[in-house]
Amino acid sequence: MKKLIAIAAVAITLAGCTTKTEYGECIGVQQDKKPDLEYKLSGWNTFLAVVFSETIIVPVLVVANEHSCPVAKK
């Protein structure tokens, strides 16, 4: 069990999810979007959530914190 927790911790820290862009911070599903920015679903974050889906932690963190990222100003 300790090995699984250690592997999950390493996977989370090394996964490299996109947390911000040049326009601002990425947001989760329940967070409010800023009205002056265009948001797009982060493909890389979604890919990493699927790859690490067996850990359960990574997909939850991605959906809660880094689901959509700002890509342009309106």
Cβ atoms 66, 50 nearer than 8 A: no
Rounded to the nearest angstrom, the gap between the alpha carbon of residue 44 and the centroid of all alpha carbons in its chain is: 8
Determine the pLDDT at residue 57: 82
At 7-41, the pLDDT tens digits run: 777 666 655 678 889 999 999 989 999 999 999 99
Give the domain ranges of the chain. 2-73
Other C-beta atoms closer than 10 Å to the C-beta of 62 total 25
At 54-66, the pLDDT tens digits run: 888 878 888 888 8
Cβ atoms 66, 29 nearer than 8 A: no
Cβ atoms 44, 15 nearer than 8 A: no
